[in-house]
Amino acid sequence: MRDSFLEVEDEDVTCDNLAFAFSKFAPGSSPTSTLLDLTSVDDVGSKNVTTQAQELVDFFQECYVCGDGEAMATRISPHQSEWRDGPKVVKGRAEISKYLTEQWGAQKNRTQKCELYVGSATRVVMSVEREWSDANEPWKTISEKGMVCWELDAGLVSKRVFVVEPSASA
């Protein structure tokens, strides 16, 4: 089955297709399993990933775990960048930096695992699993699983779409 947002060569397709692909979740399904079912991705591996994309993902993971939104902003394009967390849309590098700093500052004991499916000069698609404690309610653990798509411009993230299925447990 052809799924063009995962195809590295198809530059006419944007990360917006990721959100569309998940608009019809089956009850109880996850973004990752839905994506893999929709796309029949069997061979996840280094043949789809450039060194530059892997380094960008590793940098993002380090920034997230350390809670450094300002450092992450250095890898976001200064030209019309957009960061989407579900329905939340933040535009502009400075606003994204502020958003990440505030969001990550409210999270303690952050962990994150990413699995990279596609990493090219223009696009990154990966699954993300993360967990943290709420700074105001440290006994409350939040877990998220989802899919992230980044559009890249000159090696910098120009657009990010995160489709997540959150769950909270006490």
Domain extents for the chain? 4-23+30-169
pLDDT at 77 over 90: yes
The pLDDT value recorded for residue 135 is 86
SS (H, E, C) the chain: CCCHHHCCCCCCCCCHHHHHHCCCCCCCCCHHHHHHHHHCCCCCCHHHECHHHHHHHHHHHHHHHHCCHHHHHCCECCCCCEEEECCEEEECHHHHHHHHHHHHHCEEEEEEEEEEEEECCCEEEEEEEEEEEECCCCCCEEEEEEEEEEEEECCEEEEEEEEEEEEEEC
Q: Which residue has the higher pLDDT, 13 or 82?
A: 82
Higher pLDDT, 85 or 156: 156
The residue among 46, 64, 65 whose CA lies nearest residue 100 is: 64
| pLDDT (tens digit per residue) in 1-48 | 334 444 444 555 566 655 545 444 455 555 555 555 554 444 455 457
Q: Please, what is the average pLDDT of the chain?
A: 79
Tokens coding 164? 């997540």
Report the C-alpha gap between 164 and 170 in whole angstroms: 19
pLDDT for residue 49: 84
Residue 138: pLDDT above 70? yes
Higher-scoring residue by pLDDT: 110, 165: 110
Assigned CATH topology for domain 4-23+30-169: Nuclear Transport Factor 2; Chain: A, (3.10.450)
Report residue 144 as tokens.
């998220």
The answer to whether 15 and 161 have CB atoms below 8 angstroms apart is yes
Q: Which pLDDT value is given to residue 34? A: 56
Q: What pLDDT does 164 receive?
A: 79
